Amino acid sequence: MASPYLMWVAGEERPGRAELIPVEDPATGEIFALCHAASQEDVQDTVALAQAAFKSGVWSRESRHRRADVLDKAATLLEAELPQLIALEVRQTGRAIREMKAQVPSLVRWLKYYAALLRVEERPLLPTTGKLHNFVDRVPLGVVVQITPFNHPLLIAVKKLAPALAAGNSVIVKPSELTPLTTLKLGAILKAAGLPDGVFSVLPGYGALTGKALVQHPLVRKVDVTGGTEAGRAIGAIAGGNLARYTAELGGKAPLIVFASADLQLAVNGIAFGSFIASGQTCIASTRIIVDNKVLDTVLELLKTKTEFIAARMGAPANPESMMGPLISERQLGNVEALVNEAVSTGMANMVTGGKRMTGTSALDGTDFSKGYFYEPTVLIDSSPPNKNMQKTLLWHKEAFGPAIVVVGFDSEDEAVELANDSEFGLGAGIWTQDLSQAFRVSERIDAGITWVNTHHRNDPSSPWGGSKTSSGLGVENGVEAYQAYTTAKSTIINYASTEEALTTDDWFRGTPGAVRYG
């Protein structure tokens, strides 16, 4: 095993004073790397360095054109490192390399988008009454903390840090302890691009120690987290105590509605992608499939065939022909198993395909599934549709974060919408229909922050990404909204009236009667 990965603090690698983190390959169960972790003292030191960099103005008061140049350079340097980053991302997440080869190169779009935004952002001039010019600038907040999850380590880190750096903040990222390695690589890339020391740091560590110390620090002016709902509520309570700003992208239980007018093979392809990409470990995974009863049998047949096709082509994540990888950990595998078993053992759901941990040998490449955390792509159906049994299961209501989906039927558009909205979550949703009027009509009624029609999981730097219900979080990522969330509005009002006029109208306490202004 190579030397442990070091933290990235204020422009250099540094050892941490907390216990080393073992990093596991989810496909083999092997500990393949160790990573330094930040202690409370490390957090204090890093925040102090970040605050000093912010107060110095070396980045916070740098011209927007210079900041844009650095982000553009970072995009170019990131592209050059893609092969190494993809290989490491595959190893630590267990995700299939065919997924990572599609996802990781897209990261440069976020850096380029926010670089472009800096160059074209306009300063508003407000229509203030009187001889006044009132203009508004967006100024950075200060030190901001970003807590990222295990499922998309690089993607979510770059999605968050690009607008934060564009705005001029000092950024500290705490990656998931399960997948910290690729985020650490961003430090050297950003330094080489010209980012001043102190402006960007990466502190691996466990949430209860490193994460808590960061979030509760009084100098932290914003916390941005992607994670589970329970953790999001706990972090928000701490951040709120400091009156720090808070953005949270949390849980999801995305509905996907298939109407009778849809092209059914196209819809099934969309279900498979939305449900089984990243082994179902995404916040917008299409986990509740809601199908018009007129085409339910056909959809189930097509979906069963597609799901079994995927299962037969699972193997080593580094194999370009492998279609799906393992879950991230033994614990996550156990969570999925428990939810599926509860639905089946209570008689509420019937198994269509899948439903168990994989233990044999891959027909694709001989991978020993028993060493990793592989779970079959799984489809369940309501055991008694008239009784709506599926809606009584934990799997219908709780975020599984795994490749297990449920299918229910509906008879009317109203029923489909009711089923779709039957969740505490409201992050993503999908609609499959060839009826344009229906697409507009139903999308307006779906209670979700993001609704896709005849596609799924489209993600662009310009498109807001966030939930409509509190269990799915607060605020949004992406777009102008994310940039502005990393700033505060600074209003400047300049009186350009002549001295003579001001002496006449603005002397509140003059000795002679007469009208005076207010406001």
Instruction: Write out the catalytic residue numbers.
Output: 160, 249, 283, 477
Handedness of CA 393, 396, 402, 405 (dihedral sign): positive
Give, in order, the Cα–Cα distances in Å from 46 to each of 186, 198, 203, 409, 421: 17, 8, 9, 53, 43
| Alpha carbon distance 383, 11 (integer Å) | 58
2: number of Cβ within 10 Å: 7
Report the candidate in 396, 481, 453 with the shortest Cα–Cα distance to residue 167.
Answer: 481
- Please report how the helices 413-420 and 436-445 are oriented relative to each other, as an axis angle in degrees rounded to 10: 40
| Alpha carbon distance 295, 292 (integer Å) | 6
| Alpha carbon distance 476, 350 (integer Å) | 37
Name residue, tokens 């600074």: 490
User: At 53, is the secondary structure helix, strand, or coil?
Assistant: helix
| Alpha carbon distance 17, 56 (integer Å) | 27
Judge whether 38 and 160 are in contact, CB under 8 Å: no
User: Per residue in 380-408, is it b (16+ CB within 10 Å) or e — as a string?
Assistant: bbbbeeeeebbeebebbebbbbbbbbbbb
Judge whether 107 and 78 are in contact, CB under 8 Å: yes
Q: Give the HSE-up count for residue 182: Cα atoms under 13 Å, Cβ half-sphere.
A: 30
Give, in order, the Cα–Cα distances in Å from 434 to each of 210, 243, 264, 287: 50, 47, 10, 22
| Alpha carbon distance 336, 104 (integer Å) | 27
Handedness of CA 468, 109, 181, 74 (dihedral sign): negative
3-state DSSP of 456-468: CCCCCCCCCECCC
φ and ψ at 95, to 5 degrees? -75, 150
User: Per residue in 178-198, is it b (16+ CB within 10 Å) or e — as a string?
Assistant: bbbbbbbbbbebbbebebbeb
> Chain-centre distance of CA 58, in angstroms?
29
Beta strands in 203-294 (DSSP E): 220-226, 245-249, 254-258, 286-292
- Please report how the helices 64-80 and 108-120 are oriented relative to each other, as an axis angle in degrees rounded to 10: 160
